[in-house]
Amino acid sequence: MRKASAIFLLAFAAGCTTMRDRLAGAQSVREVAQAAADFYVADGGDDTCVVGVVRGESGEPVFACAGGADEHSLYRIASLSKMFLYPILFQLHADGRLDLDRPVAAYSKLKLPPECARVTLRDLVENKSGLPREFMTPWNPVDMFTAFRCGFVGSHIYADFDTRERFAREIWRPRWRAALRKGGNVYSNVGFGLLGMAVEDALGRDLETILHDELTGPHHFEDTTYFPHGDQTNRLTRACAGHLPWFIRRRHEVPDHRLGEALRATGGLFSSASDCLLFFRSCWPLVDAYIKDRPLESYPDEAVYGLLRVHVLPNGRRIVYRAGMIYGGASFVGYDPSTRTLVVILRNVTSWPDRRGFDVMERLDALR
């Protein structure tokens, strides 16, 4: 019986088209991008996908689309949202309008525990506050029930924490206070939510206004917003099931949850491949400065690297990347400092952070 099962699985696997299969015959940047987009929709079961690639800081953007989307379709970009705030905050700091080295309690209007006195805005930006990744406590029965319920039916995993009042209540929990006392380098949605609210309080403007005044307006990004409106709503992709929720078939619509004021900074942006490629290309100087201060060679595979992570390609070279996931959206951005290659992948499905973007970057590296 076991032998028969093994033969069946091997035969099944042999008939599957993988990302590497799609990429194997690609001989140009455009072919690589199109092969990746086609894989996600034709083979991976996604609803739509757009892949953007640019080589060099002045290179021409290349877009590949599948499933009826185009480079101006709006996607939920999840944790890539954090990256859009990064240059804004450092420019505000350089201009003297915001001091990233002041404690968050000096700006926030929330009632924060005394442990926050040692945490600066810079600590929150660079994931050095020690605050945990998520609001839920591992193995807490109530939290685990919430997580599984969300996984099965697609309910809002952050609903119990997504207002200022609830956030202020939760941050006094012993686990959070202990994490603040311990400190450390931990990728934290909790911390970035606190950062977003503190910046709003410091500047007296909401995140949408800050984003427009400091970035999207001056640089003419037409597709990036926390609140799609007007023509943007006509280009908004559906929120669909991918790997999650488990009880909803792939490509079928899921609840379109919008993050509230306490968590909007962590992953509430909508954007297009066109805007993302323009924006992330403009961030090369920031990436280069970060690498100069923190040489990539000293970081192991999957190490937290500010708002990014490090990945070691099969040939030993290191790239930096960020992946995101939210109900109705999955996203990936990768920087290859050696080839000056930037890759953006946007999908309108709920899927775990996807590692197949590394296959795309590996193939692009082979085309040098």
- Give me the pLDDT at residue 5, please: 43
**Which region, left, alpha or beta, applies to residue 330 given φ > 0 means left and ψ of -120 to 50 means alpha?**
beta
Cα–Cα distance measured from residue 64 to residue 62, given in angstroms and rounded to the nearest whole number: 7
Listed in sequence order, the residues at least 6 apart from 135 whose beta carbon sits closer than 8 Å to its beta carbon are: 158, 160, 161, 170, 189, 190
Cα–Cα distance measured from residue 186 to residue 98, given in angstroms and rounded to the nearest whole number: 24
- Give me the pLDDT at residue 318, please: 95
CA distance readout (Å), 57 to 23, 60, 139:
24, 9, 46
- Give me the pLDDT at residue 37, please: 98
Which regions in the chain score pLDDT beneath 70? 1-15
User: Would you call 95 exposed, middle or buried from its count of C-beta atoms within 10 A (0-12, 13-18, 19+)?
Assistant: exposed
Residue 181 CB neighbour total at 10 angstroms: 12
Cα–Cα distance measured from residue 154 to residue 350, given in angstroms and rounded to the nearest whole number: 9
The enclosing H or E element of 278 equals helix 273-282
- Give me the pLDDT at residue 8, please: 35
Place of tokens 């042999």: 14
276 token code pair: 């993302």
- Give me the pLDDT at residue 348, please: 97
Residue 320 CB neighbour total at 10 angstroms: 22
Place of tokens 């990746």: 36
Cα–Cα distance measured from residue 231 to residue 225, given in angstroms and rounded to the nearest whole number: 12
61 token code pair: 């953007």
> What type of residue sits at position 349?
V
DSSP string, 10-70: HHHHHTPPPHHHHHHT--SHHHHHHHHHHIIIIIS--S-EEEEEEESTTPPPEEEEETT--
Q: Which residues of 126-156 are buried (b: 16+ CB within 10 A; e: fewer)?
A: bbbbbbbebbbeeeeeebeebeeebbeebee
On whether the CB atoms of residues 66 and 41 are closer than 8 A, the answer is yes
On whether the CB atoms of residues 43 and 17 are closer than 8 A, the answer is yes
Cα–Cα distance measured from residue 236 to residue 261, given in angstroms and rounded to the nearest whole number: 21
